Structure formats: C-alpha cells, structure tokens
Amino acid sequence: MTGHWRDRAATNFQCQKRPATGSRGMVVSNHPLASNAGAEMLAAGGNAIDAAIATLFTLTVVEPMMVGIIGGGMAHIRTSDGSHRFVDGQSTVPLAVRPDTYTSKPGSAHDVFDTTGDENLNGPKAVAVPGSLKAWCETLQRFGTMSLADVMQPAIRHASRGYAATPYLHECISDSDAEGQGDLGDLSAQGNAAESWRARGAVGICRDAALHFTAW
C-alpha cells in the first residue's frame, strides 16, 4: 500500500497540540489518582499548595518508584503578591559518611562516582538523608490552608483500599525483585502504610522526618 494515510482517510482534519488550560485551576502529575487527589483539595476550598502536597503523598502510594517521602526535591512557589519562595528539600549526606566511606573503582575518572561494589548505588550506603517529607510538611504549614491530616486522606484511602497497578509500576517492581518470585496481580494494597499514616497523622510524621535517617 502506498501513499500518505491522510489521502486514504476519507476525511479532512488536522491534529494540533494545544496548551491545556483550566479556568479554576489545574493539577498535573504522573498518575491520574494523584492528580485527582490534588483536584479534590481544590474542590474542597484548598489552594495550590494543598493540592500539590496531596498529589505528592498520593504519588508516594501509587507511583512510589518515582516520588516518595524518603526522597528529595525542592519547591518553587510564586505567591499572590508576585514574590517567589523556594523550599529546599534535597537529600543530604548522612552524618556517618567520611572521605573514605566509599572506594572509587580503579581507573575511573575523578569526576565519575563509580565505587567498588556499587555501594553508592545499592545497599545501605546508597541511602541519603531524605528531605521530601520535611519539605512537604514545612511547605504546607507555611503556604497551605489545610491540615496535614486532610491532604493525606487520598493517599491513605488508596493505600488502604488498594488501586490498579499500572504496567509501569508492575515492571519496576518486577525488575527490582531480586528473587523474581510471586505475582503482583491486579491490585496493590499497602494496608500497613495506611494504618501508620492514619494513626500518626500530623503529629508523628513530621517529627519522624527530623529524627530518622540522619545517620546510618
């Protein structure tokens, strides 16, 4: 078969990508359940920060390989008066790390962080001090309008009831499973995480962020 497909389509149309807009707000993330969590906060009267934090907590549940409370990141916030605020939640080096903690692979370039045994990639020495959770809590406290318990509700709901695992999540879990045994199935449930988040709420979760992971 030859010729352009448009010549055979028997219809005349043009496909154009257009910017997505929303007259009353918009939430964009890597997963529809997370985006919906943010939209839920907006519908309840919350602001953009409430929506963003709710989205991040939900991503921790439904797409944990990409976003999590033990990760790192930063927030760039433009306030209503036009000023800008930055919240640094990047991960930091644990207190126990010393110059000789890792051994460079023989022959590796000085600016390439290849270590013997890939200790900086796999295992306990690959874990930095997470900054995400503390940054999320601080951002919500300073710039949000809703409580931590409220913005965590969608995440708790999905962790408790389960959700349909995407092919991407299934593939990531399968690739990370050293044993290669078992089957993820159709639903992923994190009941223990849900109970922990529900019980500890705003009091315990931020306190833990300040106490844990500061040293190996």
Tens digit of each residue's pLDDT (9 = 90 or more) over 80-134: 899 999 999 999 888 888 888 888 888 888 777 888 888 888 888 888 889 999 9
Do 61 and 74 reside in the same domain of the chain? yes
- b/e for 128-143, b at 16 or more Cβ within 10 A? bbbbbbbbbbbbbeeb
194 confidence band (pLDDT: 50, 70, 90): low
Do 76 and 110 reside in the same domain of the chain? no
Do 35 and 61 reside in the same domain of the chain? yes
Do 110 and 140 reside in the same domain of the chain? no
- b/e for 176-203, b at 16 or more Cβ within 10 A? eeeeeeeeeeeebebeebbebbeeeebe
Do 198 and 123 reside in the same domain of the chain? no
Tally the domains of the chain. Answer: 2
Long-range contacts of 84-87 (CB under 8 A, 24+ apart): 85/142, 85/143, 87/135, 87/138, 87/139, 87/142
* Domain enclosing residue 45, as ranges: 27-92+128-162+189-211
Contacts of 174 (CB under 8 A, 6+ apart): 180, 184
Give per-residue pLDDT as tens, 27-63. Answer: 999 999 999 999 999 999 999 999 999 999 999 999 9
In a domain, 101, yes or no: yes
215 confidence band (pLDDT: 50, 70, 90): very low
Residue type, 98: R
In a domain, 71, yes or no: yes
pTM above 0.75, yes or no: no
Contacts of 85 (CB under 8 A, 6+ apart): 75, 76, 77, 78, 79, 142, 143
Do 137 and 70 reside in the same domain of the chain? yes
Do 79 and 63 reside in the same domain of the chain? yes
Specify whether the CB–CB gap between 112 and 84 falls below 8 A. Answer: no
In a domain, 107, yes or no: yes
Do 31 and 59 reside in the same domain of the chain? yes
Do 98 and 199 reside in the same domain of the chain? no
Task: Look at the alpha carbons of 8, 11, 13, 15 in this order and tell me if their dihedral is positive or negative.
Answer: negative
In a domain, 13, yes or no: no
Do 75 and 36 reside in the same domain of the chain? yes
In a domain, 184, yes or no: no
